[in-house]
Structure 1
Amino acid sequence: MSTTAVVVTLVAAFMTGFSAVSVFIGAKWVVEPLAQYGVPRTWWIWLGTAKAAGAAGLVGGLFVPAIGIAAAIGLALYYTGAVITVLRAKAYAHVAFPVMYAAPAVAALALGF
């Protein structure tokens, strides 16, 4: 695995892990938009757990590539759902945020192949 792939994967894992922790601690800048988008509060812990699992999977993928590929695919799908949720809420100015988190995960997937 190239140095670039490792760095991109670790950046993606860090960003996704940071996002998961932000949901878990109820960071205002994360949970207020979720409420505005109409995401039920009961889903928040599951969304944070999915992000945390994705971050852990990316790191695990450095040792077992199949795990990293599965995690990157899962995160790409997760962030696609996030973009759709933001668009359905007509919060067009916020679309950049899930895209910003998706970009390194998709790049890690591309570099993983």
Structure 2
Amino acid sequence: MFAAAAIVSVLLALLLTFSAVGKLTKSDMQVESMTNVNFPVDKMWMLAIAELAGAVGLIVGLFWWPIGLAAALGVAAYFLGAVVMHVRANDKAVAPAGVLAIVALAAAVLIALAA
């Protein structure tokens, strides 16, 4: 079970890092997404920091599972919040946030089972 938890955790950490870099560099796709959900573009860096913290927590969690579990649950909450923002703004691009929330919940389950 640890192998599955490790694979999902590492892949999710990579996706979080990629997303954070997009926010920090203010990529056109990220700016458009933030604009669509009425999130202030000048505050995107805060979301990037949260994503990077989640990525670090998932990696550290490979060595101490409580940190990984907390990180996975935090990432799931982060993306559930993103889903809410997309739904409230009637934005059709809700699927990526929803999928990442599910992946984060799967990581939490796998980490808990591997503990």
Same fold (TM over 0.5): yes
Q: Distance in 2 between matches of 1:49 and 1:94?
A: 22
Q: Distance in 1 between matches of 2:101 and 2:33?
A: 17
1:56 Cα deviation from its structure 2 partner: 0.7
TM-score, normalized by length of structure 1? 0.93
Q: Which runs of 5+ in 1 are unaligned?
A: none
Match of 2:108 in 1: 109
1:31 Cα deviation from its structure 2 partner: 1.4
Letter in 2 for 1:80: L
Match of 1:14 in 2: 14
Q: Sequence identity of aligned pairs in percent?
A: 37
* Aligned-partner SS, 1:35: helix
Q: Distance in 1 between matches of 2:11 and 2:102?
A: 10
| Number of equivalences | 112
C-alpha deviations, 1:11-50, integer Å up to 9, x for none?
A: 1111111111111111111111101210012321111100
TM-score, normalized by length of structure 2? 0.91
Match of 1:90 in 2: 90
* Aligned-partner SS, 1:97: helix
Match of 2:56 in 1: 56
Letter in 2 for 1:53: A
